[in-house]
Amino acid sequence: MWRDKPHHYWNDIIQNKNGMMFPYMKDFNGDQRSAINGNIKGLFFGGGLDRRRKRPPYFSYFGDKRLLVNACVLFNESKNIYFADFYCHYQYHYATVVITNPGSTQDRFCQRHDLVQLDPFNNPLLFIDDNDYSVHVTLGVRVEVFITQKLNIFSVFNNGVGRLVGVQPRGRGRSHKNGIPKKAICNICNL
């Protein structure tokens, strides 16, 4: 999985926050009626792969630096996973899943708001292979992963499960403050 941000975001985490990435309030990207919008804190990571290369996209709309993290660090059998949103902006469809620690405030929120809890070993979006515990993602939609815990990137680096790399920015090279609402008219995701 990966998280793309401008280089100054990563410099601030490294120089001023002891390597700690703290969750922030979910914006209003996607379906405006999604229960998680403005209600729970987390960190977005990309999970979807380029269909041809079966790798993360070579470019980013969110910045020029990418944190690559072994997916098993963020999603494993000790976590709960919930389906939270399905939407499109232009030509691509996105599915948002929320990954929580069982019993956490965010986990209880997802349960109280009837988010669909997915089987971590058997679901159509993001799942763990029960033979080797590797994480797999669908190529049918772009999967966004909302992690509801803080993450220390120094720990990720020191344990050899992640690294920062450059990525080609595209468009603004940063996210929109309040997110982008879903496309108003779509025969697939506007039911």
pLDDT in tens, 10-52: 999 999 999 999 999 998 888 888 999 999 999 999 987 877 8
Give the residue from 25, 10, 2 showing the smallest Cα distance to 154: 10
Residue 180: the pLDDT is 62
| Burial class of 3 by CB neighbour count within 10 A (0 to 12, 13 to 18, 19+) | buried
Mean pLDDT of 168-189: 68
Give the residue from 139, 172, 120 showing the smallest Cα distance to 52: 139
Q: Coil, helix or strand for 146?
A: strand
Q: Buried b / exposed e across 131-155, counting CB within 10 Å, b at 16+? A: eeeebebbeebbbbbbbbbebebee
Cβ-proximal residues to 138 (8 Å cutoff; 6+ apart), any chain: 48, 124, 125, 126
**Calpha distance 151→67 (Å, rounded):** 11
* pLDDT, averaged across the chain: 90
Q: Count the neighbouring beta carbons within 10 Å of the beta carbon of residue 45.
A: 22
Report whether pLDDT(177) > 80. Answer: no
Cα separation values, 171 from 6, 43, 67, 89, 110, Å: 13, 21, 19, 14, 33
Would you state the structure tokens that stand for residue 14, as one six-digit string?
């490294």
Q: How confident is the model at residue 65 (pLDDT cuts 50, 70, 90)?
A: very high
Q: How confident is the model at residue 171 (pLDDT cuts 50, 70, 90)?
A: confident
Residue 80: the pLDDT is 98
pTM score of the predicted model: 0.91
Report whether pLDDT(176) > 60. Answer: no
